[in-house]
Amino acid sequence: MSLGFEEIERYSRQILLQQVGGKGQEKLLASKVLLVGAGGLGSPASMYLAAAGVGTIGLIDGDKVDLTNLQRQIVHFTDDIGTPKVESAAAKLKAINPAVNVETYEALALADNILGIVSRYDFIIDGTDNFPAKFLINDACHFAGVPFSHAGILRFDGQLFTVIPGETACYRCLFGGPPPANAVPSCSQAGVLGGVAGVIGCLQATEALKYLLGVGELLTDRMLIFDALSMRFREAKFRRNPRCPLCGENPTITELRDEEQIACDLKAAKA
């Protein structure tokens, strides 16, 4: 494949980079990145990937655009309220870069569909907002052997790290095995400052691009932690856990499983 004149123009600012060049751009155009979640993190991440010329971008999200999303999910606009998020996002990505092939999956990421979808891509971005989904993506990427960027945001904080399955620490190396069958994950509503979603989502896109280009050091075996209030980044190092139930020496997780429905109300003891 060689780049056309318009492509050279469009991507000139990154082709100029020594670590990219025409060859790097061609790599991006031939690459496929899947974003699980077209929300706070998926919005900025997908836009930067489209802009950079990642040839195929997959979006999986079962929700429709809601008014409460607009404070931070910047790929969605006011007129998109009620539209499936993947459609709303796809339209903007194609407007940013018509050459990008956008594959949409209007569905929840679940055990019975995620493995097949993940296997079709080169890199996965976890843009989900709940723990069970993060474990599911971690496990699916492990079984499919596809690297991914884990991230999470809450209030004024964000965290992210990259996993190369079989080589670097995974989410379960840090946070352990699945709950018993009769356990339900708890949740609580909390806010998030929009800009934090932007910071972390953009970092995820950056990691994806670095991986695809084969440049720089990936954020593996270390978590980047962002505290917006103090404007500080810090790094927490860790290693693969030999007792990890997924990627350790004696794995106990051998297949994907969905957790029970999330419980948003704790049973409260009466005062």
Write the interaction track for another protein spanning residues 138-157; mark x where CB under 8 A is met and - where it is not.
--------------x-x---
- Answer yes or no whether residue 238 interacts with another protein by CB under 8 A: yes
Residue carrying structure tokens 């989904």: 133
The interface with another protein within residues 177-206 (CB under 8 A) comprises: 177, 179-180, 182-186, 188
Nearest to 207 by CA among 248, 168, 157: 168
Nearer to another protein by C-beta: 93 or 223?
223
- List the interface residues with another protein, window 243-262 (CB under 8 A): 259
178 or 194: whose CB is closer to another protein?
A: 178
Q: Catalytic site residues?
A: 187
Query: From CA 188, how far away is CA 175, in angstroms rounded?
Result: 19
Instruction: Kindly state the number of chain residues that form the binding site for another protein, as judged by CB under 8 A.
Output: 33
- Position 268 contacts another protein (CB under 8 A): yes
Of these, 107, 115, 174, 202, which contacts another protein (CB under 8 A)? Answer: 174
Among 235, 242, 254, 257, binds another protein (CB under 8 A): 235
Does 95 bind another protein (CB under 8 A)? Our answer is no
DSSP 8-state class, residue 188: -
Comparing CA positions, the residue from 129, 173, 126 lying closest to residue 262 is: 129
Position 194, amino acid: G
Place of tokens 């499936």: 84
DSSP state of 109: -
Per CB under 8 A, 265 contacts another protein: yes
CB count in 10 Å sphere of residue 174:
16
CB 31 within 8 A of CB 122: yes
Indicate the residue among 9 and 235 with the shorter CB distance to another protein. 235
Residues 229-239, buried b or exposed e (16+ Cβ, 10 A)? eeeeeeeeeee
Q: Which is nearer to another protein, 21 or 245 (CB)?
A: 245
Q: Which residue has the tokens 């607009």?
A: 70
Q: Are 144 and 115 in contact (CB under 8 A)?
A: yes
Cβ–Cβ < 8 Å for 76, 59: no
CB-nearer residue toward another protein: 81 or 108:
108
* 225 near another protein, judged by CB under 8 A: yes
223 binds another protein per the rule CB under 8 A:
yes
Among 21, 62, 176, 248, which residue interacts with another protein (rule: CB under 8 A)? 176
Which 3 state secondary structure label does DSSP give 6? helix
Contact set with another protein (CB under 8 A): 131-132, 135, 152, 154, 159, 174-177, 179-180, 182-186, 188, 223, 225, 234-238, 259, 263, 265-269, 271
